[in-house]
Homo-oligomer: A and B are copies of this chain.
Amino acid sequence: MRGALITLAVAISASAALAQTQVPIALRDMGSFHIGGRVIEVSGQPIKEVVFTPGGVPAKVDPNGAYQIEQMYVQYFLPQNRRGKVPLLLWHGGGLTGVTYETKPDGGEGWLTMFIRNGWDTYISDAVERGRSGWTNTFKGEPVFLPLGDPWERFRIGPPGSWNADKAKRVTYHGTQFPIDAYEQFMKQGVPRWLTTDDAIVAGYIELVDKVCPCVVLVHSQSGAFGFKVAEARPDKVKALVAIEPTLGGDKNKVALLKNTPVLIVYGDNAKEHPRWSKIRQGGVDYAAVLKGAGGSVDIIDLPDRGIRGNSHMLMMDKNNAQVAELIQQWLAGRGLSE
Which A residues fall within an 8 A CB radius of B? 21, 24-35, 37, 39, 42, 50-57, 59, 61-68, 71, 73, 75, 80, 94, 97-99, 102-103, 107, 109-110, 113, 126, 131-132, 134-137, 143-150, 154, 165, 184-185, 187-192, 195, 198, 222, 225, 247-248, 276, 279-280, 283
Contacts and interface: CB of A to CB of B under 8 A. Distances in A.
A195 B135 contact: no
A148 B39 contact: yes
Given A34-B99, A75-B102, 12 more contacts: A25-B27, A31-B102, A31-B109, A39-B184, A50-B195, A52-B247, A65-B147, A68-B184, A68-B187, A73-B99, A131-B131, A137-B192
A144 B198 CA distance: 24
Contacts of A26: 24-27
Contact of A147 (B37, B56, B63, B126): B63
A178 B113 CA distance: 34
Nearest to A142: B137
With a 10 A CB-CB cut-off, give which of A64, A67, A80 has the most chain B CB atoms: A67
B61 A99 contact: no
Contact of A61 (B62, B103, B150): B150
B147 A66 contact: yes
